[in-house]
Amino acid sequence: MSPQSSAYLHEMGIDHFQLRHPERLAGYTPSELILPESCQLLLVSDHLPVSQTATLFENILKAMNLTLAQAAHIYPHQLASLGQHQLNWLWFAGCEPLSSLENTHVLTSESLTLLDGDNQRKRALWQQIRQYQSS
């Protein structure tokens, strides 16, 4: 991005942006998605956790002995662009598991919105987590 474009975005209060459907751009070639080395859990979901769902996400991470700094979120269509990673956990929340990554524990659940306040769904997720942790 040019410095002038960056300055315009900064003036508008936009720190970063992400195209929802970059594949619709003519000539677009997806770049490889690189996660930080500290990332241990990747949440694949149609919705970015915000407000109440972000709090729920953070509480689930704490129960797994992980921090927000050790987790990341991507949209399902971005999974194909994932490059080298150090992930231990791949969590599909509210979407179909598209694939599994080598040497990762795959979790599936309802969306975070549906998990919030539903103890039965949270228990089912926790059972998956405990199953992997005990093996």
Q: What is the pLDDT of residues 43-67, one digit of tens each?
A: 999 999 999 999 999 999 999 999 9
68 part of a folded domain? yes
Is position 22 within any domain?
A: no
Asked, for residue 8, whether it belongs to a domain, the answer is no
Inform me whether the pLDDT recorded for 74 exceeds 80. yes
What does pLDDT average to over the chain? 87
Phi, psi (degrees; rounded to nearest 5) at 89: -130, 135
CB 91 within 8 A of CB 126: no
Task: With respect to residue 12, please indicate whether it lies within any of the assigned structural domains.
Answer: no
Handedness of CA 86, 60, 48, 5 (dihedral sign): negative
Q: How far apart (Å, rounded) are the C-alpha atoms in residues 43 and 57?
A: 9
Residue 59, domain member (yes or no): yes
CATH number for the domain spanning 100: value is 3.40.50.10220
Range of the domain at 61: 29-134
Structural domain includes residue 36 = yes
If one counts the domains in the chain, the total is: 1
